Copies of this chain bind each other. A is one copy, B any other.
Amino acid sequence: MATIKDVARKAGVTVTTVSRVMNNRGYLSQETREKVRNAMEELHYKPNAIARSLFAKRSGIIGLILPSLRHPFFAELAGFIEHFAHIYSYKLLICDSNLDAVREKEFVDLLKSNQVDALIMGSHTLDVKEFAGLHYPIVTFDRIIEGLPYVYSDNYQGGIFAAQALLHAGCHHVAHICGNLQLDLLSNDRTKAFLQVMNDHGINPIVVQTETNVFDYAHYEEMIYPLLKMHADLDGIFATSDLLAAYVVRACYEMNIRVPQDIKVIGYDDVYLSELLVPQLTTIHQPVREMAEMAVRIAIHGEDEKFQQDNIFPVRLVHRATC
């Protein structure tokens, strides 16, 4: 590949002049600019971003660690983060931890080695103390880590909305399906709020959690079928993702339980999936797009400190056909 030296030779100038043309510094005649530009084009020259990064001590790359790219919520989140990163002229290095703490730690180190300018953490299997040594800009999604800014939506309110919707629809025998509560996530507030409201109304929901380190969709089925079988009197289910809710809806269909006539179902996230299902899913909307933009902006301008640590976004109930 052509280097700056090849360009300089071809254009009959020094590398300093070529560098000046590229960076628009110092005095340059139009003629020199053109000579250099022509040489660059003829050689298909692209400046080596690695060499530039080394000198500039910034790579223009944001790292993103997610628990799963296949999960529709995170796929959507990744899509938006990529979108905004590109708008702000940053590249994105995406890592899929698959909810594995070892891989997650590897990725954190890897991204540090690769001099990413900032890190957005959407996967949280690591202990908080693993982040003690690293002081570079990290934004956290849905989790509080001492001293780092975090972006999340109003999970507590989401739980309240879900509970109210089920109560309003007349449910009395309610189940709640959620991710593993041992992971120290802010989304656990959905569960907390939901149970609180239900308890206030004298209802004690059955709670089912996924296993800790699993994003395995077969496992979802192994949870849901027994739940429905053992509790024939259930008339309402709140699942903490649209994906989980979709599995619930399908299981109901396979078991000839009608949704919403026999069981009401509420999901969470409001990803494209919720509109796509039959029947369309009633769910709690998270403003993913806005959250993604905020995460990117904090990642980029984190040092300027004009951002708050606590970045909460409102949720809302989206009424569709399952509740």
Q: In whole Å, how far is A121's beta carbon from the nearest beta carbon of chain B?
A: 16
Digit string of A41-54 for contact with B (CB within 8 Å is 1, else 0)?
00010111111011
Which of A49, A93, A272 has its CB near the most chain B CB atoms (within 10 A)? Answer: A49
**CB contact between A49 and one of B70, B72, B92, B114 (< 8 Å): that residue:** B114
Q: Which residues of B contact A92 (CB under 8 A)?
A: 93-95
Q: Tell me whether B49 and A250 are in contact (CB under 8 A).
A: no
Stretch from A26-34, A74-82, A155-163 that touches the partner: A74-82
**A272 and B70 contacting across the interface, CB-CB below 8 Å:** yes
Q: Which residues of B contact A72 (CB under 8 A)?
A: 72, 75
- Judged by DSSP, the binding face of A is helix
Tell me whether A48 and B115 are in contact (CB under 8 A): yes
Answer yes or no: A103 CB below 8 A from chain B CBs: yes
Separation in Å of the A213 CB from the closest CB of chain B? Answer: 16
* B247 A276 Cβ-Cβ under 8 A: yes
- For residue A113, CB closer than 8 A to chain B, the reply is yes
Interface pair A103/B86, CB less than 8 Å apart: yes
Contacts of A47 in B (CB 8 A): 113
Category for how many chain A residues contact B = 35 or more
Any chain B CB within 8 A of the CB of A253? yes
Q: In the complex, are the beta carbons of A82 and B54 less than 8 A apart?
A: no
Q: How far is the CB of A289 from chain B (nearest CB, A)?
A: 11
CB pair A51–B54 under 8 Å, yes or no, is: yes
Q: Does A13 contact B (CB under 8 A)?
A: no
| Chain B residues closer than 8 Å to A277, beta-carbon distance | 250, 276-278
Choose from B44, B96, B110 the contact partner of A82 (Cβ within 8 Å): B96
**A112 interface residue (CB < 8 Å to B):** yes
Q: Are B279 and A253 in contact (CB under 8 A)?
A: yes
Residues from chain B with a CB closer than 8 A to the CB of A48 are 54, 113, 115
Contact among B70, B114, B250, B280 for A91, CB-based, below 8 A:
B114
Q: Name the residue of chain B whose CB is nearest to the CB of A93.
A: B93
- Cβ of A69 under 8 Å from chain B: yes
Residues of B within 8 A of A103 (CB): 86
Partner of A278, one of B76, B83, B249: B249
Q: Is A109 close to B, CB under 8 A? A: yes
Find out whether the CB atom of B59 lies under 8 angstroms from the CB atom of A68.
no
Q: Are B94's CB and A82's CB within 8 A?
A: yes
**Chain B proximity of A48: nearest CB distance (Å):** 6
Quick one: which of B49, B50, B69 contacts A75, CB cutoff 8 A?
B69
Which of chain B's residues have a CB closer than 8 A to the CB of A253?
278-279
Q: When chains A and B are docked, how far (Å) is the Cα of A61 from the Cα of B91?
A: 13
Query: Which among B61, B247, B278 is the interface contact of A250 at CB below 8 angstroms?
Result: B278
Minimal Cβ-Cβ distance residue in B for A46: B113
Inter-chain pairs besides A49-B113, A50-B53, 4 sampled, C-beta below 8 Å: A49-B115, A69-B75, A79-B96, A277-B278
Could you write out 6 A-B pairs with CB less than 8 Å apart? A48-B113, A49-B113, A69-B69, A72-B75, A93-B93, A249-B278
* A-B complex: 7 closest residue pairs judged by Cβ atoms: A75-B75, A69-B79, A49-B113, A44-B133, A253-B278, A70-B79, A49-B114
